[in-house]
Structure 1
Amino acid sequence: MLADAFMLLHTDLPREAPGSDDTTREALRRLRPLLPAAPEVLDLGCGPGRQTLVLAEELATRVTAVDLHAPFLARLEAEAAARGLGHLVRTRCADFGALEEAPGSVDLLWSEGAIYLLGWAEGLRRWRPLLRPGGLMAVTEATWLTGSPPDKAAAFWREAYPTMGTIASNGAAARAAGFEVLDTFVLPESAWWDEYYAPLRARIESLRARAREDALLATAIAETEREISLYSRHGSSYGYVFYLLQSRGPGSSGALP
């Protein structure tokens, strides 16, 4: 299956989407004044868990990391133990679109590069009930940064993620789902090139010989190289955006200090 070829291509990558420890810390810095002393934190679609480790380290509180791919969770557990954070990181192999957490049990819901699997509006609809009144959500989402993207970028994302929105449209959807939009910021290009595409390119080269005998892997590599090439030419028209949201309800402040 082509999906298996893509999973092989992504094995042992530090991240499954653009991001960085610095951008995770920046989002947390902006939200921290609104958090309780020992928040209940849920990281959905955690992948290998780079952001999970940052959250556990910075907040010194337990973080529950959820993903459907068990090898990602095993890798996260090993890294957490190596960093002395094993007691703070709890993993769960589960579908983040159908969680069993009690409603209103989470103070901070985090998700980097994963909500697109549900779609922006649908993800917010499913996840908001997990938050306590005034609870916080930090989510990165692929987003148009212009209303008139180049034709090639528009065609690519029309196929890859047809519901991709703008900052304005995603903000409107968040408000319709019962959130206040506290802040947004665009991830820098380094979050794509240094943290995501550079390791991915190295992985491609390590599999290049194998792909000569594996048509599905060759297809996965070609599609990935097409994506990287597109970003190199048209990356200014789209990017990942951190959306910092607060569930409306008793105790919500509606603004960052």
Structure 2
Amino acid sequence: MGLFEGKKGLVFGIANDHSIAWAITEKLYDEGAEIAFTHLPDKDPERPRMERRLRKLVEPKGAKIMLPCDVTKDEDLDRVFETVKQEYGEIDFVLHSIAYAPMDDLKGPVYNVSRDGFKLSMEISVYSLLAIANRSKEILKPGGSILTLSYLGGEKVIPGYNVMGICKSALENSVMYLANELGPEGIRINSLSAGPLKTLSSSAVGEFDMMMKLYQTMSPLRKNITPEDVGKAGMYLLSDLSSGVSGENHHVDSGYHIMGAPPIELQQQQAEA
């Protein structure tokens, strides 16, 4: 019997089969979960590209609920949660995988971020978690779990990550405050900070290939992570296996985040060069 047999949940933010959220979702399915999904609204109803992309992934898994959702609109969020409540009654987990910054604001220095760009980035990347947590607590069972996705750029300066790093910092802090407030109701919330993976989001980050090489060279495990690594960790944080864990920012990055200087052998190579 799988860890998620008889359990139901809601996933926000799968963009395609390279998404971290999809890697986690596959593990949830492997363990027997039943899942509802949202996707970005399609601008052209005659060409539902977003819906079609999601449907291709989850329909073969037996997904019954696939709803458009613009997280900047309360009416969209209300409709999603009302539909899930009508279909499932209560649920066991929620996965939040939503982040956005306008390209001009993401590519430029943080001192040059536009006021509107900053507000939109924070609203979609951070406030959406608060809005989803608020609605989730009404249908999450005691022992339920919420998980969001972060990155080391929320803790340290990662050149090229720019305004999204500020958003991730706020996201991680939000997780701690939400953990304190939701804990008395038996609800846990954590964030997962993954190392670099080739996803739609990472394609917007400058020097990504160099970043991959850096992690492989400097991390204690001397390797890059895989979608499988992240999928298993996300499944753990949403499962009863992590029943005593809340308010954490769980790193899946081969240990890269602990390093304060390059490994000795790399320093020796540089000295000999």
Give TM-score scaled by structure 2 length. 0.48
Q: Which residue of 1 aligns with 2:136?
A: 130
**Matched residue SS, 1:164:** helix
**Matched residue SS, 2:179:** helix
Q: Which residue of 2 aligns with 1:110?
A: 95
**Matched residue SS, 1:74:** helix
Counterparts of residues 175-186 of structure 1 (less than 5 Å): 175-179=179-183, 186=193
The answer to whether the Cα contact below 8 Å between 2:150 and 2:194 also exists between their aligned partners in 1 is no
The answer to whether the Cα contact below 8 Å between 1:66 and 1:96 also exists between their aligned partners in 2 is no
1:165 equivalent in alignment to 2:183? no
1:255 equivalent in alignment to 2:255? no
The answer to whether the Cα contact below 8 Å between 1:125 and 1:177 also exists between their aligned partners in 2 is no
Given residue 194 of structure 2, which amino acid in structure 1 is its aligned partner? L
- Compared with structure 1, are the counterparts of its residues 122 and 245 closer, same or farther at alpha carbon in structure 2 (3 Å cutoff)? farther
Q: Distance in 2 between matches of 1:142 and 1:59?
A: 26
Shift of 1:169: 3.5
Query: Could you tell which deviates more after superposition, 53-62 or 129-138?
Result: 53-62
Give TM-score scaled by structure 1 length. 0.50
Query: What is the CA deviation profile of residues 62-106 of structure 1, one whole-angstrom value per residue up to 9, with x for unaligned ones?
Result: 32110114423212323445xx42x33531122245312137843
Counterparts of residues 189-228 of structure 1 (less than 5 Å): 189=196, 192=197, 195-196=198-199, 224=204, 226-228=206-208
Query: What is the CA deviation profile of residues 180-226 of structure 1, one whole-angstrom value per residue up to 9, with x for unaligned ones?
Result: 6576654244xx1xx438x95xxxxxxxxxxxxxxxxxxxxxxx472
**Matched residue SS, 1:95:** coil
Shift of 1:255: 0.9
Q: Distance in 1 between matches of 2:207 and 2:192?
A: 23
Q: Which residue of 2 aligns with 1:67?
A: 39
The answer to whether the Cα contact below 8 Å between 1:144 and 1:167 also exists between their aligned partners in 2 is no
Which structure has the higher relative contact order (CA within 8 Å, separation 6+)? 1
Q: Distance in 2 between matches of 1:245 and 1:62?
A: 13
In the alignment, structure 1 segments of 5+ residues that lack a partner are: 1-28, 201-223, 247-252
- The runs of 4+ residues in structure 1 deviating greater than 6 Å are 233-237
Shift of 1:130: 1.9
Query: For this pair of structures, how many residues does the alignment match?
Result: 179
Q: Distance in 1 between matches of 2:125 and 2:70?
A: 16
**Matched residue SS, 1:47:** coil
- Compared with structure 1, are the counterparts of its residues 182 and 164 closer, same or farther at alpha carbon in structure 2 (3 Å cutoff)? closer
- Compared with structure 1, are the counterparts of its residues 159 and 233 closer, same or farther at alpha carbon in structure 2 (3 Å cutoff)? farther
Q: Distance in 2 between matches of 1:167 and 1:233?
A: 27
Shift of 1:161: 4.4
What is the RMSD of the two structures over their aligned residues, measured on CA atoms? 4.4
Q: Distance in 1 between matches of 2:130 and 2:174?
A: 13
- Compared with structure 1, are the counterparts of its residues 230 and 167 closer, same or farther at alpha carbon in structure 2 (3 Å cutoff)? farther
Q: Distance in 2 between matches of 1:166 and 1:94?
A: 22
Q: Distance in 2 between matches of 1:168 and 1:230?
A: 26
Shift of 1:47: 1.6
- Compared with structure 1, are the counterparts of its residues 145 and 233 closer, same or farther at alpha carbon in structure 2 (3 Å cutoff)? farther
**Matched residue SS, 1:75:** helix
Counterparts of residues 80-119 of structure 1 (less than 5 Å): 80-81=58-59, 84-85=60-61, 87-97=62-72, 98=74, 99=77, 100=79, 101-102=81-82, 105-112=90-97, 114-115=98-99, 118=123
Once the two structures are aligned, what percentage of the paired residues are identical? Answer: 10
Given residue 110 of structure 1, which amino acid in structure 2 is its aligned partner? L
In the alignment, structure 2 segments of 5+ residues that lack a partner are: 43-47, 101-120, 220-224, 246-273
Counterparts of residues 14-93 of structure 1 (less than 5 Å): 32=3, 37-48=5-16, 50-51=22-23, 54=26, 57-68=29-40, 69=42, 70-81=48-59, 84-85=60-61, 87-93=62-68
Query: What is the CA deviation profile of residues 90-134 of structure 1, one whole-angstrom value per residue up to 9, with x for unaligned ones?
Result: 31122245312137843211133x156545652332112224242
The answer to whether the Cα contact below 8 Å between 1:42 and 1:108 also exists between their aligned partners in 2 is yes
